[in-house]
Structure 1
Amino acid sequence: METLLFLFPQFNYMAPKEEAYFKMFGPEDLQATKMKEDSGRQKDKDKRSRLSLFLTKSGSHENVSPHKKTNSTQSNISTEAALQWSDSFEELLKHSDGVETFSQFLRTEFSEENIEFWLACEEYKAIDSKTKLLSKAKYIYSVFIESEAPKEVNIDYNTKMAIQKNMAQPTKSCFEAAQMKVYSLMKKDSYPRFLHSDIYLRLTKRKGPGATMFRRRSRSCVFNERGEATTEPSAW
């Protein structure tokens, strides 16, 4: 019995299972198995790399990328310029620094896909080439619109279905309804919170602790006989 167990270790239940298993294969079998496993791991790695590249390749996404501007760059924004952003949401979007700062705020709320989608639509409407228009439309749809998209925006079912029908022959206005809905959401919901966020308040109160923040308009403050500025009670 002992001799049989020595000759056929796969039947020796006292031996480690891994050792008994691998002794059943020859060197060539083991090498083929290892090569197959390595190939599978490489394919998974390549797939993850392609997905990462796809998500970061958009022109609009690059415009608002957190790596585009650092805090040191943001420190170059003047208080006067930042105060203009509080006049209206439209005024905020007119300034590239305003868009970038607002995008940073949306990232803290995990809703940066809204501004990225809006910017992508603005770029889309400016395209003249039919070939590029089709390519950009497919990109916007796959990244922002379709179900389970990587950066799916919150729009209603009917709007989403209307866009889907237009994908065969997209026009410059096929994303217009969705863009307006996302714009309204940012203006009514995100923008008011942005004006009270730490990101924005740091820009508008950088003159030192306890400094008074004045609005850009002249009616926000008055000057006494010594030329010192004092705020009106209704300034805010």
Structure 2
Amino acid sequence: MCRGLDSLPSTCLERAKELKALFGSLLQKSDHSITGTGQSKKCNKLRLNINEPLKWKESFENLLSSQNGLCLFRAFLVSEFSEENIAFFLACEDFRAAKPAKLATKAKRIYDEFIRTDAPREVNLDHVTKAIIKENMEHPSQSCFDLAQSKIYTLMEKDCYPRFLKCPTYLELSRQTKTG
């Protein structure tokens, strides 16, 4: 179940409200366009295909490959106090595409933000995975976070994604889609 936005920490509250408002406006617009003034450039001006929300239910991959779906899922994770999971997943995607000269710097940033004990956005990983990453940090390669990214992806797919599909915001959006 989606938690109320008022229970979020103040740093997350603004972003969650922004994304909820962004998608809430979608339900009221007949042309199914979304416009916002938030920080995320990808979420600022989006167009939603009429059948897009129904495709998100088909697979977690469909949800993540949709810019709109990713924005709504991220807002849901903020409301669930687990936005660090998708942030880590996306940071790993960005890292994998980085030029070799930037790998060490980016690896350190990801490690400091998401992996190390007491990291500001620490993801929930077992100590064995963390130890493997720590070893990988000595000579970072584009695959040094693959195991952790896979574990976080599975966590989101098996735990967060089913809850997202039951979230009132998604249910209302899919209901509106079905009724045209």
TM interval, shorter chain, is: 0.7 to 0.9
Helix, strand or coil for the counterpart of 1:155? coil
Mapped to 1, the partners of 2:100 and 2:16 lie a distance apart of 30
Matched, 1:84 2:55: yes
Instruction: Specify which of 158, 165, 176 is matched with residue 146 of structure 2.
Output: 176
Instruction: Specify which of 64, 71, 96 is matched with residue 93 of structure 1.
Output: 64
Helix, strand or coil for the counterpart of 1:147? coil
Tell me the CA shift for residue 81 of structure 1: 1.0
Greater Rg over alpha carbons, structure: 1
Q: Of Structure 1 and Structure 2, which has the larger fraction of its residues in helix?
A: 2
Mapped to 2, the partners of 1:147 and 1:100 lie a distance apart of 28
TM-score (ref. length: structure 1): 0.57
The number of equivalent residue pairs is: 146
Write out aligned runs for 1:27-66 (5 A): 66=16
Helix, strand or coil for the counterpart of 1:83? helix
Mapped to 2, the partners of 1:192 and 1:70 lie a distance apart of 19
Helix, strand or coil for the counterpart of 1:86? helix
Mapped to 2, the partners of 1:196 and 1:213 lie a distance apart of 18
TM-score (ref. length: structure 2): 0.74
Helix, strand or coil for the counterpart of 2:58? coil
Unaligned stretches of 5+ residues in structure 1: 1-55, 57-64, 215-236
1:166 alignment partner AA: N
Instruction: Specify which of 108, 116, 138 is matched with residue 108 of structure 2.
Output: 138
Greater RCO, 1 or 2 (C-alpha within 8 Å, sep 6+): 2
Question: Structure 1: which 4+ aligned runs deviate by more than 6 Å?
Answer: none
Identical counterparts, % of pairs: 45
Residues 79, 203 of structure 1: 8 Å contact kept: no
The residue that corresponds to 1:11 in the other structure is: none
Unaligned stretches of 5+ residues in structure 2: 1-10, 27-32, 34-47
